[in-house]
Amino acid sequence: MSVIAVVDYDMGNLHSVCKGLENVGAVPKITDSPAIIEQADAVVLPGVGSFDPAMQNLRSRNLIEPIKSAIASGKPFLGICLGLQILFESSEEGVEPGLGVIAGKVRRFRSEPGLTIPHMGWNQLQFTQPDLPLWQNLPSDPWVYFVHSYYVDPVDLEVRSAIVTHGSQNVTAAIAKDNLMAVQFHPEKSSTTGLQMLSNFVSQVRAKVAA
């Protein structure tokens, strides 16, 4: 049975993520143990909240290098919401350096007439990597659930796997590079579409273990 480590750094939504993974047949293990993260078949990095406390908590629990090592190892890795943002080098939300796995910065939505910040609620994805395994068996332009005031701005636009439009702004909603995937929205709150994504991720984990 494949074990998926769900990283606990005291930044929310662990149980809803685990419930979503359990619903698609996975065995998630909430942990802040570097050894368990290393031994796991895959890693999920969720998160809700602010950039600086997230990085401070990761540092205080000695999780920065284990997370980077997990990504470098080639095992399937999924970041969710704040777990996407902290993969980047820095954020306009704070002063702490991010993990720096992906080159780029986290930026705040620009104010414009009629624009609601945070971007909260259901919105449609536009796939920029339509053949990504995470998107298998999904309708085109699926609806998913967002809650965020900041978005990631990668240096290399080739890593973008989906975008979303909020007001007049088209921003990155998901990234993918090799074994690393991360999304700004919440698949665990995105009904059957989100569960399908989690199921697709679990299928990738099982295929990797079986290979």
Any idea what the CATH number is for the domain that residue 66 is in?
A: 3.40.50.880
Mean pLDDT, residues 176-185: 98
What confidence tier does 2 reach under pLDDT thresholds 50, 70, 90?
A: confident
State the pLDDT at residue 13.
77
Question: Would you say 117 and 149 are in contact if contact means Cβ atoms under 8 Å apart?
Answer: yes
Asked whether the predicted pLDDT for residue 211 surpasses 80, the reply is yes
Mean pLDDT, residues 103-119: 96
Quickly list DSSP for 11-70: -S-HHHHHHHHHHTT-EEEEE--HHHHHHSSEEEE---S-HHHHHHHHHHTT-HHHHHHH
Cβ partners under 8 Å of residue 195, min gap 6: 20, 23, 24, 187
Could you list the residue range(s) of the whole structural domain that residue 52 is in? 3-210
State the pLDDT at residue 26.
92
Question: Would you say 174 and 184 are in contact if contact means Cβ atoms under 8 Å apart?
Answer: yes
Please count the structural domains in the chain: 1
The residue type at 51: F
What confidence tier does 203 reach under pLDDT thresholds 50, 70, 90?
A: very high
Strand intervals (E) in 40-168: 42-45, 77-80, 88-91, 102-108, 119-124, 126-127, 143-148, 150-154, 160-166
**The pair of three-digit structure tokens given for residue 56, joined into one six-digit string:** 């401070």
State the catalytic residues.
Answer: 81, 186, 188
